[in-house]
Amino acid sequence: MFHFSASSKRQLSTCDERLQRVFNKVIEHYDCTIICGHRSEADQMLAFESGKSELQWPDSNHNELPSKAVDVMPYPINWFDYQRAAHFAGFVLGIAQGMGISLRWGGDWDRDGEIRDHRFKDYPHFELMDDD
């Protein structure tokens, strides 16, 4: 069984308890790293200015506390293995759905199953969908 590093645990602890439940279940079966949970104003502006986010403070789900969004990658991290990121996302979305938790993945913003129809791709990003 896999386990989170201290850094991953710290990042995940800043997230909504539903995200914590999902990723604590995911790590039992799939090795992954929590990159970012809550973002401060300075962190959000840096993410925006570097092109890692399209949203400025306080408009990102990462800016809520607890965070309604989390950035997670399969471990070891390979930022350019998009197929692996999509496979991981499918696993995460399936776990969440089985738990009755609705998530949106940053590789498929409109949740239509098609990842080529989005200009902004944020493969590590998962966010809660409270409106379902």
CATH T-level fold of 6-128: Muramoyl-pentapeptide Carboxypeptidase; domain 2 (3.30.1380)
Candidates 126, 131, 132, 130; CA nearest to 20 is 126
Whether the predicted pLDDT of 132 surpasses 60: no
DSSP letters along 5-50, please? Answer: -HHHHHHHTTB-HHHHHHHHHHTTTS-EEEEES---HHHHHHHHHT
User: Model-level pTM?
Assistant: 0.96
Q: Does residue 5 register a pLDDT over 90? A: yes
DSSP helix, strand, coil percent of the chain (3-state; round to 5) = 35, 15, 50
Q: Where are the domains of the chain?
A: 6-128
| pLDDT tens sequence across 44-82 | 999 999 999 999 999 999 999 999 999 999 999 999 999
pLDDT in tens, 88-130: 999 999 999 999 999 999 999 999 999 999 999 999 999 999 8
According to the model, what pLDDT value does residue 130 have? 84
